[in-house]
Structure 1
Amino acid sequence: MKRKGFIILFWVSLATALFFFLVFTKEKTFYNFLITLLISTMYSFVLGFGNAFINDFLNKKFPWSETTRTRAILSIVSIIIGNFMLVYFCNYINFVVIQKVATPETFFSGEYATTNWFMINIALLISAFLHAKSFMEELKKTSRKEVVEQKLIAKSANAQFESLKNQLDPHFLFNSLNVLSSLIDENPIQAQKFTASMSKIYRYVLEQKDKELVTIEDEIEFAKTYCDLLKTRFEDSVDFIFEVKKEDYKRYVVPLSLQLLLENCIKHNFATSSKPLVIKIFSDNDTLCIENNLQAREQMKESAGIGLANIVQRYALLTKKNVFIEKSEDYFKVKVPILSNKPNTVSVETEDENGSYEKARKRVKELKSFYANLISYCTVIPFLVIINLMTSPKNLWFYYPMLGWGIGIVSHAFRVFGVGESWKEKKIREIMDKQKNRNNGNVRRK
């Protein structure tokens, strides 16, 4: 339990002690107040720690977002059994050990059954509130996570589309095919190598287009192939230097980021044999750096900067680490983050999103309805018990609404957690699937 929980339990103990001391204690002495505070603290901390332990244990082993049905059933069973044991323990310590108003025989003989039942209902109320609060917090967290994931899916799809559009840039294809056309006549062997390099490049593009991250080893291998292709085009006008640490090869970067950055270097700088463009790829701490000597060419029109913006956007979706750009009179450098682990992403088919959302919304509505019913039961029944005991203690009529409503709660639980309508739907779906498979088999035989 966190520090905040200790503070809350302390104030609950103090408030409860003051209430019982001022209202129910006849002799207002400091000793009686300490006894009342001791008893209140015992109830608060035993019930608080017990329910917190149950809730935390179930949160770790059976999270609401992953095993909703199992968690709900275990929550109901555990809070009933757990609070039954905790209340009996506290009442035994209170009446037998501290106040000494009962012996163990009289305590377990049935004379304190009503008191025990009343305290159990109070404990169930508190426990049901804690579990409902835990469910709502998990629901908010899951909803927030789903919203982020949906945004990630949408933005990632858009980024991948922009990436592919840049990688298959018509100008790049046109220039590459022109080089290939000239090489066929001048140097057929080199043309064959050029064609093989282009084949590797586009095969890699198609393989990586649906991935969020790739290893640096794969990206470097692809970049070297792409550099060979550029080297064939520009010959001695361009030089490439790779100095990436071997220990970084198994880490991750955004796929095709090197190709975009290399293409940017070529696009925005002039390169000649007398003034070659030197491009250096190396790792520095937790970044992969692409640096080139600055030989900016005159642009006929302002560049849209789609390639670099693409990389920045995709990294922003995957990590809080930033892409850094350094520019001076002599060089231009881009640093992209190196990631140690792949992020947890969820792939969702577009056509199923609306149906899944509606099912999830309906499910959440059912669960909220059940827990509202349970909390109402745990709130109202104890008050009915108090009214009954205060007005007509010999005529215990509170058992009727308690049992009737309790049966309704159990029926509601069965309906929500798999024995009611959902069970019927499952059976109907199974029968329909069997009938469909039988019909398909008959059609194939015909």
Structure 2
Amino acid sequence: MTRKSLKTYISISFFSGLFFFIFFSSEKSLNSFLISLSIATMYTFLMAVPNGLLNNYLNHRFSWVNQTKRRTIVGVIATIVLNVFLTYLCNGINFVLIQKVTTWDIFFSDKYNYANWFMINFALMISAFLHAKSFMEELKKVTRKEVVEQKIIAKSANAQFESLKNQLDPHFLFNSLNVLSALIDENQDQAQKFTLSMSKIYRYVLDQKDKELVSVEDELEFAKTYAELLKTRFEDSVEFQFNVPKEDYQLKVVPLSLQLLLENCIKHNFATSSKPLVMKIYTENGFLCIENNLQTRELPKDRDGIGLSNIVQRYSLLTKENVFIEKSDDYFKVKIPMLTEQQKINTMNIVNPSNESLAYEKAARRVKELKGFYGNLISYCIVIPFLVIINLMTSPKELWFYWPMLGWGIGLVAHGMNVFAIGKNWEERKIKEFMEKDQYKS
């Protein structure tokens, strides 16, 4: 028991004892007040401590968030059993041992059924309040944790994606300068032509490197220009074959992917006039394929670049579609997925911080619904006992508190069903069902 809980129990005991002393005690004396305070303290500690221990055990055993139904069912059964036992124990101690107004035989007869029934309902209402408070605290904790985790994931993914894109700029420049350096020694006219073409290509690199996706058409045009540069360098030692239908031009790929893959082919294979390196670019079942005949040459490990791994990592951050690599004795092929406009919108959400806001708003709406229900439940637990007390004090022979208890109780059950059973989950399922039907029809 924590110090805060102890202070709470003492406060409840004092004010409960004072309440019963003022409104139910016929003798207004210090002795009578101490008796009322003792009885209230006994009820508070014998009822609250076991319920608190039960609540803590159930919270440890069953998660409110991940095992809501099981936690609710077990909690209801255990709370009813425990409070029935504690009510009879406390009432027995009060009436038989403290006030000595009856015996144990009479206490368990029909005469005290109403008193026991009233205390059981009162205890269950207080227990419901405690369980609702426990649920809200855990839900708030989990919601805050999930929001923080989503922020971390989004920021991490965004930072990782930016890091990968920033690798392209110096990587392309470094390799292009290597080619230019070789050309200067071999053919200065070609070197000058290469420099002019490289400036045009580098402008494309600067324009596209900050984009997540570009059209296949733009990427092909850039790849053809880059292929011309490679032809300038290697002449008839390399050959390029482009065979991409125009209907695929508006699909999306990650920028500079073709340039990196063509560069990868040159780096890992030797090319001569007698054995030219043939690179084919074509589409196949929604994938853009880059295939080359295999003429492998050994490379130092420190020359392993970022080309293929960069593309794989960028796609993994943007979509669930995979990059496929095929290798045989004769050829090496990389297949990169071509994404539709709709897939582009969906993939942007992975690294777009606005998705984090949408998730937060959805979680906030759900928390608001739950707070509304538990606010309703807590109000019920406070107001109904108060009405019962007023009814018993003013007209004990005419019991009218049943009607607000029943009416409000039915409304509370309906509210709970809307929140937990047939509320938003049912709406979301139906919305998804109708959207799928409309999409199928279209």
Shorter-chain TM band: 0.5 to 0.7
After TM superposition, list the pairs within 5 Å mapping 1:175-190 onto structure 2. Answer: 175=174
Report if the CA contact (8 A) 1:21-1:28 is conserved: no
Residues 371-380 or 349-358, more deviating: 349-358
- The answer as to whether partners of 2:96 and 2:102 remain within 8 angstroms in 1 is yes
Structure-1 residue corresponding to 2:373: 370
Label 1:363 to 1:81 Cα distance change in 2 as closer, same or farther (>3 A): farther
Residues 264-343 of structure 1 correspond to what in structure 2 (within 5 A)?
none
1:140 equivalent to 2:173? Answer no
Further displaced range: 175-184 or 137-146: 175-184
What are the residue-to-residue correspondences of 1:47-446 with 2, within 5 Å?
47-72=47-72, 74-170=74-170, 172-175=171-174, 193-194=298-299, 197-199=302-304, 201-203=306-308, 205=310, 359-418=362-421, 420-421=422-423, 425=427
Q: SS of 2:65's equivalent? A: coil
The 1:427/1:164 distance shift into structure 2, 3 A limit, reads: closer
Letter in structure 2 aligned against 1:410: V
* Whole-angstrom CA distance in 2 between matches of 1:166 and 1:15: 67
Instruction: Structure 1 unaligned segments of length 5 or more: list them.
Output: 213-346
Counterpart-to-counterpart distance in 1, 2:115 and 2:397? 15
Q: TM (normalized to structure 2)?
A: 0.54
Which amino acid counterpart does residue 373 of structure 2 have in structure 1? Answer: F
- Find the residue that maps to 2:108 and give its secondary structure: helix
In structure 2, distance between residues paired with 1:173 and 1:435: 47
Q: Per the alignment, in what secondary structure is the counterpart of residue 396 of structure 1? A: coil
Give the superposition deviation at 1:353.
5.9
Q: d(CA) in 1 for partners of 2:401 and 2:118?
A: 11
Pairwise CA RMSD: 4.4
Q: Deviations over 1:190-227 (max 9, x none)?
A: x9554654446555556667999xxxxxxxxxxxxxxx
Structure 2 residue aligned with 1:17 = 17
Amino acid at match of 2:380: Y
Q: How far apart are 1:72 and its partner, in Å? A: 4.6
User: 1:100 is paired with a residue of what secondary structure?
Assistant: coil
* Structure 2 counterpart of 1:373, one-letter code: N
- Residue 28 in structure 1 maps to residue 29 in structure 2: yes
Three-state SS of the structure 1 residue aligned to 2:390 is: helix
**Residue 5 of structure 1, CA deviation:** 1.0
Q: Deviations over 1:275-296 (max 9, x none)?
A: xxxxxxxxxxxxxxxxxxxxxx
Contact 2:143–2:363 at 8 Å: present in 1 too?
no
What TM-score, normalized by structure 1, do the two folds share?
0.54
Q: Distance in 2 between matches of 1:11 and 1:387?
A: 23
Task: Decide whether aligned partners of structure 1 residues 36 and 433 sit closer, same or farther in structure 2, where only a CA change above 3 A counts.
Answer: same
| Conserved 8 A contact 1:180-1:194 | no
- AA partner of residue 122 (structure 2): I
Q: Partner amino acid for 1:133?
A: K
Matched-pair contact (CA < 8 Å) for 1:73–1:417:
no
> What's the % identity of the aligned pairs?
50
Separation in 2, partners of 1:348, 1:69: 31
